[in-house]
Structure 1
Amino acid sequence: MPSHSAPIDRATGKALDAWLRGFAARVRVPLSAAVAAGTLGGLLIVAQAWLLARVVDGVAMRGLGLDGCWPWLVGLLAVFAGRAAVSALTDAIAFEAGARVALDVRATVIDHIAALGPCFTRGARTGELATAAVDGVENLRRYYDGYLPGTALAAAVPVAILAFVVPQDWISGAVMVLTAPLIPLFMVLIGKGAEALNRRQWRQLARMSAQFFDTIEGLTTLKLFDASRREVEVVAATAEDYRLRTMAVLRVAFLSSLMLEFFATVSIAMVAVYVGFRLYFGEMHFLPGFFVLLLAPEFFRPLRNMGTQYHARMEAIGSAEAIVALLGTEPPAAAWGDAELPTGAPLEIVFETVSFGYAPDAPVIHDVGFRIARGERVALVGPSGAGKTTLGQLLLGFAQPDAGRIAIDGLDLRTLSRAAWLRRVAWLPQRPTLFHGTLRGNLLLARPDATPAELDRALAAAGADAFIAALPHGLDTAVGDRGQGLSGGEIQRIALARVFLADADIVVLDEASAGLDADTAALVTRSIAALSPGRIVLVIAHRLDTIREVDRVLVIEDGRVVERGRPGELMARGSRFAGMVGILEGADA
């Protein structure tokens, strides 16, 4: 990922602008409509100035009463109403365009994070990803509903006003044309200094969000070690740093606004002084002079607004840099085909000299090979960090081997349809995730079309029916994020019921009974035994009772299979596995 503190070079800035404008092509019609509506508003400003000049000229210079001016007054009221309606319409269309792009970008970011999979998210900070998908995309929305229409209107409206000013007084028009470029020129010069400040502020916001999320996640540990006050001080220091960076950005923004207002005011004053002298010396009639004078501030208004919107562009560039870097991360599981496994296939899994690493120079799995047939229960055992979970993730398709292949009935896993393969596999991790919502909604993730009877059978098979029945609202009971409100054993049984409901041919159990009390672990183990017949079950095991239920054991050390065989045979010959069992027996005693 590029540095977020150094200024963006011209080529990178152009590339990010091109990326942002690429999304603008998707909403070209509403953006064009917003600009057209804004230009119509500019023409209404001209009409308003003309009618107001006629009223003042009639009353002040020609002695007309209100009776003689009423057609112009009615016209003014109509123009006021038209301007209000056009302004609201312009904002609504621009907001719709920005919101549509924001929705597309956010969906793209979330889809890409999903494609990157657990192998990516386990090494990323959740707070930074959330900041990119929420705050970063919101900054992009302001680029599309503010900066792009504002830039177009800064060109269209002054030209439209000049078309009416020049016929009345070409010298005033020349003054406007000569002074107008000063505003965008100084806007760009000052904006260059704010660019690096914006990027540092954005990066600090991402770090602060990540740190705050980590603090919330680890609050129990912080309380246990009486470190919560120290962590609060760290978060406060980070927030203070963010405040200082924000104030630095705002100082530049206010300086920019001050300079833009200064040059706009000087330009308007020049027009006013020139018109005033010409009126004084009788070189100009009052009506055209007052008309030009009324239009002078409106000529510079879109340019001043563009200065404000230029700040939105800088924020969008900073956010786009982080989002483009995220989208540029190549999904590890990008290679999928469209092959389908025939229904009722034997379903044999073969790992053929598979090697894999999360980084090119740090392999985790080395030349692993084994075979599992339908109906077999195979346990992967070994010390923590040996690569057991990685093998499970490779089988699930969360990552692809760097070398070798995983064959399913002779077909390379990478040639299968991703959606079809995920319907054939189920996963029960050590810490399953329940999402905010109802228990029913969490179960239906496995099969949205499941009937109430199928839900009841899955709950009974997982041993979850009793505690569900005791809940006041049953399956419609609401749970918080990550199953808040349920015990660890209850969460595990709901997740196991989800596996039963999926009715998958291949089930990967990643230390499914770890961290549970003995009774709950025994219940989960019995439910897993009931799940096994006719399926391939790959168990990543740390508990002795789980290992005893399997047909074969693969001992993994340093990413290699160092032993394999039936549990009884390995125990009989005094193997590494026997030593592990001895340790587990001591732990369970």
Structure 2
Amino acid sequence: MKPLDPRLVRTAAAVRTHLAVSVVSGVLVTGLILVQAWLLAHAIAGAADGAGTDTLGWAITAVAVVAVLRALLSYAAEASALHSAARTKSQLRRRLVAHVTGSGRVWTAEPGAGGEPGSPKAGELVTLATRGLDALDDYFARYLPQLVLAAIVPLAVLTVVFWADWISGIVILVTLPLIPVFMALIGMHTQARTDRQWRLLSRLGGHFLDVVEGLPTLAVFRRAKAQAAIIRRVGEEHRRATMGTLRVAFLSAFALELLATLAVALVAVEIGLRLLGGHMDYQTALLVLILAPEAYLPLREVGARFHASMEGVAAAEQVFTELDRTRGTARRAPGAGVEPRRAPPPTGAASPATAGDIRFEGVGVRYPGRDLPALSGLDLDVRAGEHVLLTGPSGAGKSTLLSLLLRLNEPGQGRISVRPPGGEWTPLEEVPAEDWRRGIAWVPQHPYLFDVSVADNIRLGAPDASMERVREAARRAEADAFVSGLPQGYDTRLGERGARLSAGQRQRIALARALCRDAPLVLLDEPTAHLDPENAAAVRTAVARLLEGRTAVIVAHDAGWAAGALGAAPRVVSLPLPSPERSVPR
């Protein structure tokens, strides 16, 4: 384990500030330690020689002032460290969230839908971003300052001791390296335990979140007790790993304390013998005896703080591993076309290209770990205002095609081009992802509804929408009737994932959300899957209103969509199961 991960210094500006503050405070603390030791030796030796308070009053006062200054400096340094830790955690969390949700690529945890082999689950990411990074407080507030002191104080103390008594300096110089040697040996033994403890904690958090989210299904199939037993077993493994790490921490603290105590005892013995023989004056002996423990103290504290800070360091390493992982399952194969140019910065407005034509040319997508591509050689033109119905067997790549239009993935082969009304063809990758998505209304098969009011769920894609606009969107989505019957109407909280609504009602809220967004490009993924005939008919009616005057790409197995459910029969494109050689015709 590196004492200071250089990636932390490069990534978080607060770390660089904290290091500068730690070095300055370490130098000041070192100076105060030396001054306090000399003042104490001078005052005690003077008192032993019979000097009164009139002679030693200034020294006693100076000792008190130095003690107060050390306390104030320690308080200020720790407060600054905690502030730096808070800023660093905030920066790392923002980078992690931006990495998995922003920058034009979105992390998804579903197998084959965005996660790479070895990618953490959503629950593990939550544990990492919360409990894991919180452990950085000990690293910043206690470990790093002690690391700086361990680099400065022993050298300064050795210099003064050699100047005062070279024999004691040699004893300290010989015994001092034993502490970092033992620290390194103990640290190597602890590293594996700390990593295992963190992995078990992440696994426990991720599995617990999965179980809580799937509890209704587990209860229906009478598997809740089995999952509770698994959580109990993983929790017990984490407990044993934590206790093992703590046991090593306590034993290492005992070993370091014993080494430091024996080393100081050697210095005290040789000083005592020479003092009795008259080969050393009393003030020098006191100065060396006061400074000797200070030479070992920072190293002992580094060893003690090492274990408390390692969980945060392990979490930070996993954050960097996650940040280094390439997101987006579709990668451009080596030699497959020209490397994409960087898109211009987002403008904050919907891209005009979403209201224009879209063209797929030889588009191929391959997910990591799969032998066959998800899409292979797809050629498809979608004209502005056209409604395209995608059909085909499961695994044909229908949802993958939607993910390409949503900019959640990128094609590994071929290219996607867009042409705004009256404009020229442009590669989609040159359009800012944020601007592109602003012009899209997406209704997934399982829309996510948040535990907020109905109105807030509907205006998710249009935060500034008025209540009248929300009601109109709900009315056109065939949702106004059942929403009005809820206890607080549009102010009713829906519960997590819309728990208070049926599947058909959730789908109509999602359609109202798309209507409220008023985007020129609409993407729908199986909007009537798993719905009863009555709800499916209501959803089709709402979809027909949603698609008026808009470009639409609809994924559906339901034959009712091709039978004029949208008012006019859409163009049907059937996607076959892809193979490396197969090309999908226009």
Query: Partner of 2:31 in structure 1?
Result: 43
Shift in Å, 1:210 = 2.2
The letter of the residue matching 2:344 is D
Shift in Å, 1:493 = 2.9
Q: In the aligned structure 2, how far is the partner of 1:105 from the partner of 1:304?
A: 30
Return the match for 2:410 from 384, 400, 422: 400
Return the match for 2:550 from 535, 542, 557: 535
The letter of the residue matching 1:286 is Y
Q: Against the structure 1 CA distance between its residues 539 and 96, is the aligned structure 2 distance closer, same or farther, given a 3 Å change threshold?
A: same
Return the match for 2:68 from 43, 66, 81: 81
Q: Contact conserved, 1:31 with 1:93, CA < 8 A, in 2? A: no
Answer 1 or 2: which has greater helix percent: 1
Query: Partner of 1:375 in structure 2?
Result: 385
- Which stretches in structure 1 are left out of the alignment for 5+ residues? 1-12, 566-589
Return the match for 1:106 from 83, 93, 100: 93
Query: Partner of 1:583 in structure 2?
Result: none
- Which stretches in structure 2 are left out of the alignment for 5+ residues? 332-339, 420-424
Q: Contact conserved, 1:24 with 1:144, CA < 8 A, in 2? A: no
Q: In the aligned structure 1, how far is the partner of 2:483 from the partner of 2:94?
A: 35
Moved more, 361-370 or 319-328: 319-328
Q: Does 1:362 align with 2:372?
A: yes
Q: Does 1:353 align with 2:359?
A: no
Q: Matches of residues 180-579 of structure 1 in structure 2 within 5 Å?
A: 180-311=176-307, 314-315=310-311, 318-332=314-328, 337-338=343-344, 343=352, 347-359=356-368, 361-409=371-419, 410-471=425-486, 475-548=490-563, 549=565, 550-559=569-578
Q: In the aligned structure 2, how far is the partner of 1:345 from the partner of 1:21?
A: 41
Q: In the aligned structure 1, how far is the partner of 2:373 from the partner of 2:203?
A: 29
The letter of the residue matching 2:65 is A
Q: Against the structure 1 CA distance between its residues 121 and 330, is the aligned structure 2 distance closer, same or farther, given a 3 Å change threshold?
A: closer
The letter of the residue matching 2:531 is L
Return the match for 1:120 from 114, 120, 126: 114
TM-score by length of 1: 0.84
Q: Against the structure 1 CA distance between its residues 444 and 87, is the aligned structure 2 distance closer, same or farther, given a 3 Å change threshold?
A: farther
Q: Does 1:134 align with 2:130?
A: yes
> Percent identity over the alignment?
38
- Secondary structure at the counterpart of residue 231 of structure 1: helix
Q: Against the structure 1 CA distance between its residues 54 and 382, is the aligned structure 2 distance closer, same or farther, given a 3 Å change threshold?
A: same
Q: In the aligned structure 2, how far is the partner of 1:51 from the partner of 1:563?
A: 87
The letter of the residue matching 2:498 is G
Shift in Å, 1:542 = 3.4
Q: In the aligned structure 2, how far is the partner of 1:486 from the partner of 1:286?
A: 85
The letter of the residue matching 1:414 is E
Paired residues in the alignment total: 552
Q: Against the structure 1 CA distance between its residues 564 and 43, is the aligned structure 2 distance closer, same or farther, given a 3 Å change threshold?
A: closer
Q: In the aligned structure 1, how far is the partner of 2:410 from the partner of 2:237?
A: 41
- Secondary structure at the counterpart of residue 202 of structure 1: helix
Q: Contact conserved, 2:378 with 2:584, CA < 8 A, in 1? A: no
Q: Contact conserved, 2:354 with 2:436, CA < 8 A, in 1? A: no
Shift in Å, 1:142 = 4.4
- 1:352-403 CA-partner distances (Å, limit 9, x unpaired): 2322221363312222333222332222223333322111111222112222
Q: In the aligned structure 1, how far is the partner of 2:554 from the partner of 2:12?
A: 49
- 1:120-164 CA-partner distances (Å, limit 9, x unpaired): 259852222223333443455544444433222101122333444
